[in-house]
Amino acid sequence: MQEIVIEQLGPGEGERLRGVRLRALAESPDAFASTYGAEIGFPADKWLERLKNPWWVARRGGEDVGLVAVRAEEGTAHLLSMWVAPEARGSGIGSRLVDEVIAWARAEGLERVGLWAVDANQSARSLYERKGFERSGKVMALPSNPALMESHYMLSLLFRRARRQDVPAIVAMLADDHLGASREGDPNDERYLAAFERVDANPFDELIVAEQDGKVVGTMQLTYLAGLSRLGAERCQIEAVRVSASTRGQGLGRKMMAWAVDRARARGCAMVQLTSDNSRTDAHRFYDSLGFTASHVGYKMSLS
């Protein structure tokens, strides 16, 4: 088997970029927003200008058989121009090219990676979903062929679904305030693990963590509630929002809530709701600043 090498193009490799890109446009005309006809006439300086953004090629047996680019904009790395030659498909090149973009985005301190994928391109969509990309809810017609629709996908580099090994860190954050200190126990208590397994198995529950430099620094739980009111609309309930003491005051809580609202909107929820203990006056001011309205009086009854 021939070795596959991933190489980042240098600032003077415009001609090499031109060759791979034009082959991609000719071979997969319905995969890109642009067309072969639009780019065949680009002058040399146009290709050199394009190299101001990072481009990677996959090389096998002396031939360039894969291509991807990335552009940073407003805190997001946009994955662009993804292509693998027909003779090289199924060899893992696409996965490695995506990994290069993700690694670059992390190194640049960006918090998410976005991309557009044509709905009819099942292999590309499957690759991105395996990598953790999820639909953002945005759709549009492919500019080069309006008969085809494409969907927008996002991968957060800050937020993810919690894993079993995250449970002790999550419990420690739940316990780190005046209310949690009196009701939480040993983070390694098996009851926490049993509860995690139940939440993780429920398609209508998501336990989310924020991760920075490999450390869990925030958490929240999203629950999607079905009901007959509002014409059967689904609601997203946000619970147990916590940020670690070491990260407070850095805007992480605001990012968490914005991410949760976007996630609920992409799912089609009609409303996002939450409750907050009467004693958490700082939290109330925070939720007010985000546009939440204190519209209801909540009641609870302890059964223990």
CATH 3.40.50.1460 at 4-156, yes or no: no
Q: Residue 293 burial by CB count (10 A; 0-12/13-18/19+): exposed, middle or buried? A: exposed
Per-domain residue ranges of the chain: 4-156, 159-289
Residue 118 has a pLDDT of 97
Same fold, 4-156 and 159-289: yes
Residue 304 has a pLDDT of 77
List residues bridging with 141 in a β-sheet.
149
CA distance 229 to 24: 50
Residue 178 has a pLDDT of 84
> Any idea which architecture 159-289 has in CATH?
3-Layer(aba) Sandwich (3.40)
> Secondary structure of 234-283 in the HEC alphabet?
CEEEEEEEEECHHHCCCCHHHHHHHHHHHHHHHHCCCEEEECCCCCCHHH
Long-range contacts of 60-67 (CB under 8 A, 24+ apart): 60/2, 60/3, 60/4, 60/5, 60/88, 60/91, 60/93, 61/2, 64/16, 64/19, 64/20, 65/93, 66/6, 66/93, 66/94, 66/97, 67/20, 67/21, 67/24, 67/97
Residue 1 has a pLDDT of 61
Mean pLDDT per 10-residue section of the chain, whose length is 304 residues:
90 97 97 96 97 97 96 95 96 96 95 96 96 94 96 96 96 91 91 97 97 94 96 96 92 95 94 93 94 92 88
- The predicted model scores a pTM of 0.84
Q: Is 77 helix (H, G, I), strand (E, B) or coil?
A: strand
Rounded to whole angstroms, the maximal C-alpha distance in the chain is: 75
